[in-house]
Structures are given as C-alpha cells and as structure tokens.
A and B are shown apart, each in its own frame.
Chain A
Amino acid sequence: MAGPAHQGGYDVVVLGGGVNGAGVARDCAMRGLSVLLLEKRDLACGASGASSGMIHGGIRYMTSDRNVTALASRDAGYIRHIAPHLTFRIPFLLPFASQAEGSRLLDRVTWYATEVYVGTYDLFQPLKGGKPSVRLSADELYRVEPGLRPGLHGAVTLDEWGIDGQRLCLLNALSAADHGADVRTWTEATSLVREQGRVVAVRFRDAVTGEHGEARAGVVVNATGGWSPQFGRSNGFQVPMRPGKGVHLSLDRRHGNYGIICTAVDGRQMFLMPHEMESIIGTTDDDFFGDPDDLDATADEVAYLVDGAASLVPSVREARITRAWWGVRTTLFEYGVEEDDLSRDHRIYDHAGEGSAGLLSFVGGKLASYRAQSEELTDRVAAMLGKATLPCRTHEVPLPGGDEVPSPRELAARHGIAEPVAARIVFRHGSLAREVLRLVDEDPRLKLVLCRDEGILAAEVAWIARHERVRRLQDLRRRCRLALGGCGGLDCARPAAQIVARELDWDADRLRAELSDLLEAGWRERRAVLDGWQLAEEELLRAVHRGLGGL
C-alpha cells in the first residue's frame, strides 16, 4: 500500500517520472492536492534525461505566433529563477555557408533574413536573461572559432540556456515530496482499475522489493512519454503519438565554449554544443516503432552525427567521444509528415470517451516548457477534481537548492576541499552544497575525491544516497554523473557503491549486483563509440571490472 497517510486514496496519481510527471506532481502538491508519483525506473530515465538539456526561448515559434515565443522566453526566465545553479549560458554560432563558390545574392538575402530573425528574437531575450545577437564577419568568425572549416562567410550568434535536465527532473520530484507528495521510483503502474467507465485506482509493483500495491485516485495523469502507446494498449485506451528516437554523442570535454549549428548530410539542422563539462553532438530524429526499453545507438547514427558536426568543425574527429545516449521523444501524431516537421507542441488527451473518465494523457512538449505544461495540466486536474486549490506558484518558488548560489571558493576554503570539486557540488546542489559539505566536517573520510574525472566527492555520494531518493546504484548516474565520464567509473564505481551500500544497508551481494548493473549501463552507451583513447580506457575498465572484479 502506498502509505498510511493516504488510505483514502490520492487526488492525483501521476504515472511517469520524467520532467512532465515530476513537474505536474510538484505543481499539484504545491496547490494542496494529495499526489502519488509512480515511475517504473528512475526519474529522468526516458526522454527527459536524454534531451539536449536546453531551456530555450522558443525562437522557432516567431513565424507562427510571437506570443508563444514571449511565453516560452518568460518561462525560460522562470526556470532560471527557480534553479539558477543548474543553468549555464550557451552562445550559439549560426555560420553562413554558401553552396556555390563565393556568395550569391540569394545567399546574402538568406543570411540577412537569418540575422533579422535572430535579431528579432533579441526582443524576447531580456525575459530570460539572454544577450543580444551579433553578426560576425568571416574574419571575426574565424577568430572567435578558429576550428571551423574554411570557406564560411560569417555568422550570427544566438544566446540560449543549457540545463542539467536530469537534475531538473529530480529537483521537481524532491520538491513535490517536500510538499507532501509520495514519490515512488522503480515502481511500475501495472494496470488501471475501472468502475462504471471511470478510472478509480492504479495497481503497481515495486521492482526492487517485488511488492504489489494499489492506490485510489481522483484523477490519473499518464505522463509516461514514449511508453504511453504500450501502456495504453495494455490498459484499454489509445494515446496517439509519433515516437521518435533521438541520439546524442558526448565528448570527454568542452570542444569550445560556443555551440555551433551545423547541417547534416540530409540537410537537417544539428549542433555541436558545450554542455556542462562536455560537448554534445545532437541529434538524430527517426520514427521509432520498437520497444523503448530496448534501445541502442547504431553505427549509422554515430556516423551521421560525427560527420554532421565535422562538416563544420573538422577537429571533432580528433576529439574523444565518450558515449552515445538516446531517448524516445513523443511528438504529436501526424501522418505523411517528415520527422523534423512534426509539431513540438503538446496536447492533453482526456480518455473519458474510451470508458476511462478521470484519465488524462500528456503527449509532446519540450523540456524547456515543462513548467508551463505542468501548470496547464494541473489546471485541468484541478478542474476535473472540482476542488478549490491554491494558485500556481511553481514559477516563483525556487526548487530545492535554487534559492542561492554559494561561492565555490568560499566553500572550498571553509571545508578544506579543492575548489573545482566545490564548484561541481555547487552546480548540482545550489545552496544545499553547504549541507553536503557539512558532512565532511562530521566525517573527514568523506573528503575523499572518488572520481577525478567528474570531481565527485565521497560526501556528495553519501548526501545523495541519504536525501535524493536513491534506490539503485545506477540512480547516481543521473544524480551526479557517476561513471558517466570518459573513465566510465574506473576510479569511482566501487568506492561510490560502497558508500551507497553503507547508507542504504545493502549486503555485499546486492552491492555487487548493483555495481554490475551500473557498469552494464555504461558499456551499452560506450560500445558504439569505442575508438582512440576511449578504447584503451575500455581495456582498463574491462581488466578491472571483469578481470579483477568478476562482474
């Protein structure tokens, strides 16, 4: 059962711990509704965790409705406000390339149009703390980014925000829990219970303990993203969507501080952009009809992305690719349309007509708009419940740790740790970094830096295990990038597992099983990109974890 506090059931049961599920759970909980969030794996395991990690201002909507752009930009500003520590600025370059020798009139018109378009977007930039665009001449462009291929004619720049999408998801769920929601990860909704054409309860199964349970619900929100069609089919309702597989590649470090918009071999736009401490190349977009639980990056997807990025930045071929990762995005259903032309809009489906009153499905949308989408969804939920609720405050109440960004230098000095390590902790935890580092005063052993590749401190692992709803070791991939860097967990996987095991009271067999699971996930993401030094690293990893560890 889901807890004694809610024997009478919940106002809302949210299915899916992606950014929409976590966002709507937070909003509902903050408005005073009782909420249960069920996620079959971990938070941000699907498309939210595999997104490009951008909070953009909706530049592409200026051609259809500038009010949408204004709303999107304002919302980006809100996210900056509630989670300032998780965001970072990404200046983009949109280089001007010509198909012909020299520059033709048509090219020049196109470039001017681009400049005007991005320049018009500048009107919205103040809403999100963005900077105005700039047009660079060819010479200027090569001074700003000397790694670009020759023959370009200049560029315009565009200012956007990057974010740690996985922690954004987590913080929404933690905030929901702080406001009274029950958040259950690794708990799968197995079926819906109906009475007289109404969905009245959700049955679920805890994948870690094997326990079954049932929770009564006033409204059920299906936010299972790419899993929706499957879940709908097995539960007697239909969720129309066009799922699309998107693959990204990570480089082991920032290739530069500026994102670069490139054109892929098939003419699609793609990018190479700095993201946290990496650069990422993205993204593919292909219709996906398979099982979202069984994905891999294929050889052609890897080649497509590398070739596309190298067409403008040849030096990426020398860079070390550490992993390929993927997700299934949910786009609205349309027939006879190219993947790229599908709307990135969202829709809420009410399944009352299918004998499932009280069930809403959320489809589509973007990470950047999650807050506004959640607000809209919560409004619908509240209306269906017919309950008077508090007003929405998700745009003004900071997420956990988002109230202040402490100075890494100060924290490093106070607690006697290295400043880069403190900086990483501040990035991930915001003002809660103070609490994280307080642990090293109590136990100086926690000053041990476990991962010299990602700057993961033992204290951070202990903190996360205690306070961030860790149920499996692999949850730390999304909480603090454990074993996600180029080293794949060579230094840190075992000691981090030991600390988590101590905190969560796992025995040695459980610890080994969790370690195996963590390493297997890393292997799946690396195997398609093993080349150069990453392949040498893999040899070491294999020697340690399989050869020595018997894992």
Chain B
Amino acid sequence: MAPAPRIECDVLVVGGGMAGATAALAAREAGARVVMARKSPGSTGLSGGAVSVAQDPACMPDAPFAARSGVVESARRIAATRPGHPYGLLRDRLDRLWNAVEFATGQLSSVLAPPTGRNRWLLTPFGHAHPAAACQRTMAAGDLAEVRGTLVVCGFEGHLGWDPGLVASGAVRVEPLGGPRPRAVLLDLFRWEEGAVGTPFDLARLLEAPGAAEEAGKILKRILARGDAAAVLPPVLGIDPAARVPERMSAEAGIPVAEFLSDLPSVPGLRMHRAIEARLAAAGVEVLGGEVRSGAGPDLPAAVGGREVVARSWVLASGRFVGGGIERRGELRESVLGLPVQASEGPFADPSIRFAARAAATLTQADSRAPQALLAAGLRVDGELHPLDAEGRVVHPRVFAAGAVVGGHDPASDGTGMGVAIFTGWLAGRAAAGRGA
C-alpha cells in the first residue's frame, strides 16, 4: 500500500478543545486550509455546560446580582488586577473579546444559547450559583437573574446522584439579591433498579426514549404549584439536542424546563464534544486523530496519526494537564514543541523566576484557595500570542498558542478558562491564517 500523501495546509491546529476548535474555525472562516491534530476530547469534553468568560473580581462570591456589569467589563477588571493573566497580556485587544465570544457561540449554536452580554447565573450540583457568559441551550431557562417567581429545583426519587435541597441552597443564598425563590422537589422518576444505578449517560438515554420526556413532563406538572416559574433538573436531559428532551418536558409541564450545570461524568460535556466534532466537519476542517509528538514547527513535516502534515503556521491549543499540552514528569514541560514552561501566577508570576524544575511542594500552598502556581503553569506568550523561549524571544513568528497551554491563569477554577480559550483561539486562528485582529 502506498503511504498516504503528505498534507500541505495553511494552518495546523494542535488540540481539539474549545481553543483549538475556535482557532480552526476562525482560520477556516478567514479562508485558510486548516488541519486539526487532536488525540481525544480534552477538558472541553468534560465541561459542565457553562461557557465561563469572566466574573467581576470586585463581586463578592455570594453576591452575584450586586454586580450586573457586562462580561467584557469584568474581563477588563481582571486584566487590570492580574497583569500576567492572558486578559492582562491582551488588554489592548479586549474590545474584540465579545466578537470572539459571539463567533464561537455562533459556530456552536447547535448546543449553545446566544449570549446576552452579561453573565447568566446557573445552579450547580454543589449548591452554588455559577456565572457564565454563555451556556448550553438546555440550561438557559435556569438563569437565576431571569426567573421571576418560584424556581422548582428537581431531583429524582429513584436516584441518589443529586440532592435538590443542596442544589437549591445555591439559589437560597442569592434570593435576597433578586434571585427567584427556590423550591426543592423529588420527581418520581427512575424508581427501578436500572435507573437507580444508572450513570448520567444512562439516565439521559432513558429520557430520550419515545414518550419518556413527555411522561417526565407530566410527573413534573403534577407537583407544580401556583407561582412556579421554571424548573431545573439534573443535567441528564438527553445527550442528543435533536431529541429535544427539555422542550418535550416543557410542553407537557407548561413551564420552562432547564438543566443545572454538571459535574462528572458530564452529559453536557459529551454534547459539547459532539457539537464541536460536527461543526469542524461541516466547516471543512480536516481532523486527524493522534498525537503530535516532537513536531518540528511551521514548514517542517510533522507526523500525525500516520500522516505527514506540513503547515505554514501552527496554533498550539493542546490544553493544560488534562489535555496534555503541559506535562510534569518531575519537571514541567510543554509536550508538542518542548517549549519552556515559564508563566504562572502567585509567587511565580514574575517571568524572571525559573520554576519548571521546582518540587511540587514549593509550587503549591497549603490553603487550596490560595493561587497555586503549579496549576497555573504554562507557556509564556507575547501580546501576539507567540510563545516565548527561555530568553524571552519569540520561538517562531508563525507559531501561536491558545487556551490552557498558555500560562498565568488557572482555567480549572478562576472562571475564565473558556473565555481565554475562545479569545486566544479566535485571535490565534485569525493571526495564523494571516488576518490580524
């Protein structure tokens, strides 16, 4: 068998999460021929349904409605207080942040609801109200800032996975600030063994079955009282958006029905992963499965899943630790091009401090709420998203970095992970395609 022909393209995007997808789609839109190398779903495929871009740092944790400022305005405040954060590095271009968010959410409109410009406040299984600039369509009706009246917070009689009282406590805490009054109820669902031991995926499939969502809607309707304005349920309302589980339930119950956010395992994460795959295929991005190891960079052949790819520009969107873009085996390193890991925050925000080889104990603090340098570690980039080498020089004028592989922020917990992925992905994709921002 003859070897598959070498692929020549304009842009090679490494990584298929939110940053990589946004970069690939932005480059594609700019007319470039784009190849994506990705090994598997990264942390985007494990996300809970929220697209978190920026929460106003001036806003107290439990006082969301006190700060109704727009998402971009919040990002500006983050940029002003955290100069090492990607928003800080890109502060002169933050006026384009919203273009990026609208672009990404528009591309993924099969699962994402249109953003409004301000944060939606969504409940989580932990009893927390979480701000999100955008969210999945199945979740938008649960926005605490919009529900007027009583919010019915549902669990399932037959499944111990979610405690509606705990979930509702997230709304109780913000009720005095203008949120809805929550009411926790158990729906008489899944009361047989198959349901009781099911994973979220199993429950989602059960609800997709013909008639199941309608039946669930009827059960919900039975417990509704006057003043009930909307209902939120565990995030298992179907895997496939085309199954229209929330809509079917809502039609029976007579009030809007939404999911709250998901922890793991995450049905919304799988939904997002599938939506990204579908959109990339439709946009004509060629996706190659497999890792890029020791690839040499632009204009040089890189081996990806048995194929050879030569690209004019590269976008590294390979993620952080889950994605595998940054790894630590005794020492921190970037895994695709072997670049130095030298951006972080907290005590190691100063770029002159070399920390990649330090012991884990010295890169972390005993209080988990404190900034953890190890969890914020990644590539140092300039304002054009070019990764920098150990001497602070641009590695290559046509190599860009986007998303969690860029250091200086803690995408897992600082509430800006998706926003950074979208913004840097969009900028990097356009730049790689030869179009400036």
Could you tell me which A residues sit within 8 Å of B by CB distance?
Answer: 296-299, 302-303, 416, 444-449, 458, 490-491, 494-495, 498-499, 501-502, 507-509, 511-512, 515, 519-520, 523-524, 527-532, 535-536, 538-540, 542-551
Contact = CB atoms under 8 A, between A and B. Distances in A.
Contact of A531 (B168, B360, B366, B369): B360
Nearest to B323: A536
Interface stretch (B153-161, B219-227, B340-348): B153-161
Given A498-B160, A530-B360, A546 B169 contact: no
B328 A550 contact: no
A536 B328 CA distance: 9
Given A297-B361, A530-B360, A548-B124, A542 B160 contact: no
B415 A520 contact: no
B22 to A, nearest CB: 19
Contacts of B369: 546
Contacts of A303: 359
A190 to B, nearest CB: 26
Interface stretch (B3-11, B125-133, B206-214, B238-246): B125-133
Q: Which 6 A-B pairs have the closest CB atoms?
A: A508-B169, A299-B359, A549-B126, A550-B128, A528-B361, A546-B413
B43 to A, nearest CB: 7
Nearest to A549: B126
A242 B317 CA distance: 54
B328 A532 contact: yes
A178 B362 CA distance: 47
Nearest to A299: B359
Given A444-B192, A511-B163, A543-B413, 10 more contacts: A296-B361, A444-B196, A448-B160, A527-B361, A530-B328, A535-B327, A539-B322, A540-B264, A542-B375, A548-B48
Interface string B337-356: 00000000000000000000
Nearest to B265: A491
The secondary-structure label for the interface of chain B is: loop
25 contacts: A299-B359, A444-B196, A445-B159, A447-B197, A499-B160, A508-B172, A511-B163, A512-B127, A524-B366, A527-B368, A528-B361, A528-B364, A531-B360, A532-B329, A539-B43, A540-B412, A542-B413, A543-B46, A543-B413, A546-B412, A546-B413, A547-B413, A548-B50, A550-B124, A550-B126
B320 interface: yes
A313 B415 CA distance: 42
A498 B196 contact: no
Contacts of A547: 52, 412-415, 417
A490 B263 CA distance: 9
Nearest to B168: A508
A494 B125 contact: yes
Interface in B248-297: 261, 263-264
B61 interface: yes
A445 B362 contact: no
Given A499-B160, A527-B360, A544-B264, A551 B412 contact: no
Contact of B61 (A494, A548, A550): A550
Nearest to B198: A448
Nearest to A523: B368
B412 A539 contact: yes
Interface residues of B, number: 58
Contacts of A296: 361, 366
A547 B372 CA distance: 14
Given A511-B166, A550-B126, A528 B322 contact: no
Contacts of A548: 48, 50, 124-126, 128, 130, 261, 263
**Which residue of B61, B125, B413 has the most chain A CB atoms within 10 A of its CB atom?**
B413
Interface in B74-131: 124-130
**Which residue of B166, B322, B417 has the most chain A CB atoms within 10 A of its CB atom?**
B166
Contacts of B413: 542-543, 546-547
B193 interface: yes
A507 B159 CA distance: 20
B374 interface: yes
Interface in B144-159: 158-159
A299 B374 contact: no
B167 to A, nearest CB: 9
Contacts of A546: 368-369, 412-413
Interface of B: 43, 46, 48, 50, 52, 61, 124-130, 158-163, 165-166, 168-169, 172, 192-193, 196-197, 261, 263-264, 320-322, 324, 327-330, 359-362, 364-366, 368-369, 372, 374-375, 410-415, 417
B328 A535 contact: yes
Contacts of B130: 548, 550
B188 to A, nearest CB: 13
Contacts of A449: 197
B412 A302 contact: no
A542 B61 contact: no
Contacts of B196: 444-445, 447-448
Contact of A544 (B263, B361, B372, B417): B263
Contacts of A543: 43, 46, 411-413, 417
A64 B410 CA distance: 57
A508 B127 contact: yes
A289 B212 CA distance: 64
B48 to A, nearest CB: 5
Nearest to A519: B368
A298 B126 contact: no
Contacts of B127: 508, 511-512
A508 B375 contact: no
Nearest to B364: A527
A531 B158 contact: no
A532 B129 CA distance: 32
A530 B321 CA distance: 11
B317 to A, nearest CB: 16
A490 B48 CA distance: 14
A494 B169 CA distance: 14
A508 B165 CA distance: 7
Nearest to B331: A531
A529 B52 CA distance: 29
B356 to A, nearest CB: 13
A254 B28 CA distance: 49
Contacts of B163: 498, 501-502, 511
B321 A538 contact: yes
Contacts of B330: 531
B160 A536 contact: no
B328 A298 contact: no
B155 to A, nearest CB: 9
Nearest to B156: A445
A540 B361 contact: no
Contact of B128 (A498, A536, A549): A549
Contact of A535 (B48, B52, B168, B321): B321
A447 B193 contact: yes
A546 B192 CA distance: 33
B375 A539 contact: yes
B286 to A, nearest CB: 28
B253 to A, nearest CB: 24
**Which residue of A296, A458, A524, A528 has the most chain B CB atoms within 10 A of its CB atom?**
A528
A539 B412 CA distance: 6
B329 A509 contact: no
Nearest to A515: B126
Contacts of B375: 538-539, 542
Given A524-B366, A531-B328, A540-B322, A458 B160 contact: yes
**Which residue of B127, B324, B417 has the most chain A CB atoms within 10 A of its CB atom?**
B127
Contact of A298 (B162, B169, B361, B414): B361
B214 to A, nearest CB: 24
A520 B166 CA distance: 20
Contacts of B328: 530-532, 535
